[in-house]
C-alpha cells in the first residue's frame, strides 16, 4: 500500500493520482464560508436552488465542496452585485466552468449594461430634480411664505407623466 500523508487538510496519496486529488481539493462548508465571506445558510441556499453544484455528500451526510465552489460563489456574488437576478445567473453559469457559452454571456452582459445605463439616466434626472427643489427651498425669496414657496418650487420642477415612465 502506498504511504499517505496530510497536506492542508487533505489526504494525499503518493501515487500518479495525487495531482488529480490535489486539484480536486475538498473543504467543509465552514472553510468555504470563510474563503467566500458568505454564511453557511446562503451557501446551502445556492446549492438547494441549483446554482452551486460543486458539492459532494459524504456517507455521514456532511457536504464536501470542491475548490471550484469558491470561484462559482464569487461569480454569483459578483453577478448579483452587478444587478443579475439568481434566475439570470442560473441561465448563464454552466455546470462545467470550462464550457462557457461565450455568445450567450456576451449578450447577457450587453443587456445588463444597457439596463444600467437606463437606470443611470433615470437617477441623473431624479438627482437634477432634487437639486432644483433643494435650491428652490434654500433660495426662498424674502417675504414669500412657506406655502407659496412650495408652490413656486414645485412649479419649477417638471413632473413626469405616466407616459414618461
Model pTM above 0.75: no
pLDDT at 110: 95
Higher per-residue confidence, 12 vs 93 = 93
- pLDDT score recorded for residue 23: 47
Residue 10 clears pLDDT 90, i.e. is over it: no
Confidence at residue 1, expressed as pLDDT on a 0 to 100 scale: 43
The helix (run of H) or strand (run of E) holding residue 135 is helix 102-138
- The CA distances from residue 142 to 35, 136, 145, in Å, are 61, 12, 9
Percent of the chain whose pLDDT exceeds 90: 41
Q: Is pLDDT above 70 for 79?
A: yes
Which pLDDT does position 82 carry in this prediction?
92
Q: Give the chain's mean pLDDT.
A: 81
Phi/psi for 64 (5° steps) reads -125, 125
Higher pLDDT pick, 153 / 163 = 153
From the number of C-beta atoms within 10 Å of its C-beta (0-12, 13-18, 19+), residue 19 rates as: exposed
pLDDT digits over 92-127, tens only? 888 777 788 889 989 999 999 999 999 999 999 999
User: Is pLDDT of 21 > 50?
Assistant: no
Q: pLDDT for 43-72, tens place per residue?
A: 999 999 999 987 888 888 888 988 889 999
Question: For residue 14, what pLDDT band results from cuts at 50, 70 and 90?
Answer: very low
Amino acid at each position: 500500500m502506498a504511504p499517505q500523508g496530510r497536506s492542508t487538510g487533505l489526504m494525499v496519496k503518493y501515487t500518479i493520482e495525487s495531482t488529480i486529488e490535489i486539484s480536486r481539493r475538498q473543504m467543509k462548508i465552514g472553510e468555504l464560508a470563510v474563503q467566500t465571506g458568505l454564511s453557511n445558510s446562503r451557501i446551502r441556499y445556492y446549492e438547494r436552488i441549483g446554482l452551486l453544484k460543486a458539492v459532494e455528500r459524504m456517507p455521514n451526510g456532511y457536504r464536501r465542496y470542491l475548490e471550484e465552489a469558491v470561484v462559482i460563489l464569487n461569480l454569483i456574488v459578483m453577478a448579483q452585485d452587478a444587478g443579475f437576478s439568481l434566475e439570470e445567473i442560473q441561465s448563464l453559469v454552466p455546470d462545467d466552468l470550462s464550457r462557457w457559452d461565450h455568445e450567450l454571456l456576451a449578450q447577457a452582459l450587453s443587456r445588463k449594461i444597457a439596463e444600467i445605463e437606463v437606470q443611470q439616466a433615470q437617477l441623473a434626472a431624479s438627482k437634477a430634480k432634487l437639486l432644483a427643489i433643494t435650491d428652490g427651498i434654500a433660495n426662498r425669496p424674502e417675504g414669500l411664505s412657506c406655502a407659496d414657496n412650495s408652490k413656486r418650487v414645485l412649479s419649477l420642477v417638471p413632473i413626469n407623466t405616466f407616459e414618461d415612465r
